[in-house]
Structure 1
Amino acid sequence: MQIKHEILELLKKGKNLLAFSYGSDSSALFYFLMQNNISFDLALINYKTRKNSDKEENEAKKLALKFQKKIFIKTAPKFKGNFEKEARDFRYDFFNQICLENSYNHLILAHHLNDQFEWFLMQLSRGAGLAEILGMNEIEKYQSYHIIRPLLFTSKDEILNFLKENEFFYFNDESNDDVKYFRNYIRKEFSNSFVKEFSQGLKRSFDYLRKDQQKIYDFEKIQNFKGILICPKEESMIAKALKIQGVVPSAKQRVQMLKSDCVISGKIAIAYRDDKAFVFNYELCEKLPKKFKEECRKAKIPRLLRAYLYNHNIEISSFKF
């Protein structure tokens, strides 16, 4: 199992948080980072959905104590809607909170080549563009820290071989076999067998696709102003900004977002002014002061954006886009 030298060097220079579950992927990454003398702490979510959930949490605490690492643990509520989406939102909100409150430079995730290909097929099945179909990157800027995926070009078989060769313990997540979840269905029926046979070619293809993506899209055009992502009024750029904010728009939502100002998934707002799009956390305010509303009107601040500016004490005069 190998990780790019530049990623290891980056991790050696920062304060790191590893998203940990005690499954095969995060366990392999745990021990690999240990072998390379990279310091990190742990964050774990107990979903209470498996018979081993509490045991995994307790064993993770013991592991953290053994290797003198901080561990942040949170129990998830019972999700009533789309479990995959709600669990993902809950997970990333938790990680984000820890990183911001504890000044972590890097959030390390154990996504690997099979995960990358699963995502590719899932988005392909739904109808997506190049900006969304390559949804994972080895290094992504997110607010005041970076998301790092060291295993993104490492296959599941390589991970399992690393664990076996070193006799490292991990828990098997039986929920990964439940095909009622779309990702598991894609994994079982399509992606795993393909990666097993064509992993080397797949790695090269993803590398070439990312280089092509960089030539086509200049994601540097996405600016971050006090939590508001500002980009050109272009579908792929807006979709990328949404993903940075934690939402992947469906085909139906893509149509909706291009028509007018809107809120996606009840969470992220999109507002337009001239040739610019503003993507930000959707917020409400009971009653905006009359003077503030008048200033917003004169400055042509989109209505959806006004509560966010007011709640975050952002001066209208500083919003010059």
Structure 2
Amino acid sequence: MSKLLHLDRLREGRVLLAFSGGVDSTALFHLLLENNIAFDIAHVNYHTRETSDAEEKNAERLAARHSLQCYAHSCRLGGINFEHRAREERYRFFGYLMKKHGYTYLLTAHQLNDRLEWLMMQICRGSGLPEMLGIRSHDSRDGIEILRPLLEWDRDSIEAYLHERKIPHHIDESNADERYTRNFFRHRYSTPIMRDYRDAIRRSFRYLEEDSESLIESMDFKTVNEFAYAENPTNIRSLLYGIDRYFKSRSYLLSKHDKEALKGGGDHIIGRRFIVSIEMKYTFVAPYEANVVMDKGFKEECRKLKIATKLRGYLFGVPEAMRVMRQLKGAQELLRSD
């Protein structure tokens, strides 16, 4: 049976566990207790099932039994694309808790089967290596550090752990619905493959994550109001990945057309809402504001600084962002395309 990943990190800071009460998060809850990790839990009630309120009460009782804090959030999300909006809602809640209470890490209970299912879905979408490894053992989102200690545990091992210890947990009946893409891949492909090749799959993901970390450079966007900027990495693949992650942090998904266009560098309007300007040294992102009347002095300064025309409307109305732009405009370095 695998150990929890990142035990040293878990012991060094304050930990918040995203807790649904299902198989995976219940197992992680008890494994944290066994490893003497100090933590609290956060539970989101979407009111999508008759048992949702009972599951929230069970989470609160479980936390109280072990003298832990349980933060509960209640919401109702109607309309289309529920999975995406539910993910955004819970991460807003988790982020609020992390900042308010000073937690160091957010823990999610993703495991090895989840990782394989995600990789399969990304292959079928024509994605590259960073996207295939979207579920990483150590990641960040909106300034939150995320750890996934169960990523080397497969589903059968987790269920066996709960069964051997007679630990109660709830079963989400929607997991059987193959109308959800992930469930389709789970039932048709990943479950039988995992049972035959579990150890090899675990090793492969270790190697893939190590390779990805050596190939993809980080891109650290800083923000002033709604103006964002980052120093460019040394290769196009890292650049595109960094821009894509920034937009995802803003709850905006780039289209395939957007990504193809960004490969050429230069200035691009994204979704009629944003301007992305890729220069030699920096990438700039800002809201796209057209038809802004600017004075001649400002336009002349922008021309001398070689600021992208479509960025100027936003910068004209936000002096703080313009001051940062003045500071950044300096020697330019060529971006390689290898």
Q: Does 1:316 align with 2:323?
A: yes
Contact kept? 2:275, 2:287, Cα under 8 Å = no
- C-alpha spacing 1:94/1:195, structure 2 compared with 1 (3 Å): same
Q: 1:144 to 1:236 in 2, by over 3 A?
A: closer
Separation in structure 2 between the aligned mates of residue 170 and residue 311 of structure 1, nearest angstrom: 52
TM-score (norm 1): 0.84
> d(CA) in 2 for partners of 1:11 and 1:309?
46
Verify the 8 A CA contact 1:261 1:304 in the aligned structure 2. no
Instruction: Measure, in 2, the Cα distance between the counterparts of 1:26 and 1:131.
Output: 25
Q: Are 2:259 and 1:254 aligned?
A: yes
For 1:77-156, list aligned pairs within 5 A.
77-156=76-155
Q: CA deviation at 1:240?
A: 4.2
SS for the counterpart of 2:328 is coil
CA contact (8 A) 2:46 2:76 kept: yes
Shift of residue 301, structure 1, vs aligned partner: 6.0
Opposite residue 254 of structure 1, the aligned amino acid is: K
Query: For the structure 1 residues 224 and 192, does the alpha-carbon distance in structure 2 shift closer, same or farther, using more than 3 Å as the test?
Result: same
What per-residue deviation string (whole Å, max 9, x for no partner) do you get for residues 45-72 of structure 1?
A: 1111112111101111111222222222
RMSD of aligned alpha carbons:
3.3
- One-letter amino acid of the counterpart of residue 150, structure 1: P
Q: Is the 8 A contact 1:273 1:302 kept in 2?
A: no
SS in 1 for 2:221: strand
Q: Match of 2:74?
A: 75
Change (3 A) 1:101 1:173: same
Query: Percent identity between the aligned chains?
Result: 29
User: How far off is 1:229 after superposition?
Assistant: 6.0
Cross-structure match for 2:25: 26
After superposition, the C-alpha distances for 1:139-194 in whole angstroms (9 at most, x for unaligned) are 12445441100011110111111111111111101111111111111111111111
Residue 294 of structure 1, aligned match among 288, 295, 298: 298
Residue aligning to 1:272: 277
State how 1:142-181 maps to structure 2 within 5 Å: 142-181=141-180
User: Using the alignment, how far apart are the partners of 2:318 and 2:56 within structure 1?
Assistant: 37
Shift of residue 89 of structure 1? 1.9
CA–CA separation in structure 1 for the residues paired with 2:62 and 2:195: 31
The answer to whether the 8 A contact 1:262-1:271 is kept is yes
- Cα distance change of structure 1 residues 288 and 77 upon mapping to structure 2, 3 Å threshold: farther
Q: 57-66 or 20-29: which moved more?
A: 57-66
Distance 2:53 2:272 in 1: 31
Of the two, which has the highest radius of gyration? 2
User: Structure 1 residue runs of 4+, over 6 Å off?
Assistant: 284-289, 308-312
Q: How many pairs align?
A: 314
TM-score (structure 2 length as normaliser): 0.80
Kindly indicate whether the alpha-carbon contact (under 8 Å) linking 1:285 and 1:311 is maintained by their aligned counterparts in 2. no
Q: Which residue of 1 aligns with 2:241?
A: 239
Structure 1 residue 85 displacement after superposition: 1.7
Q: Which runs of 5+ in 1 are unaligned?
A: none
- In the aligned structure 2, how far is the partner of 1:177 from the partner of 1:276? 49
1: CA distance between counterparts of 2:271 and 2:72?
29
- Higher mean Cα deviation, 137-146 or 233-242? 233-242
State the secondary structure of the residue aligned to 1:223: coil
Q: Please give the alpha-carbon distance, in whole angstroms, between the structure 2 residues aligned to 1:72 and 1:286.
A: 43
Q: Secondary structure at the match of 2:139?
A: strand
User: Aligned partners of 1:278, 1:173: CA distance in 2, in Å?
Assistant: 43
Distance 1:153 1:147 in 2: 16
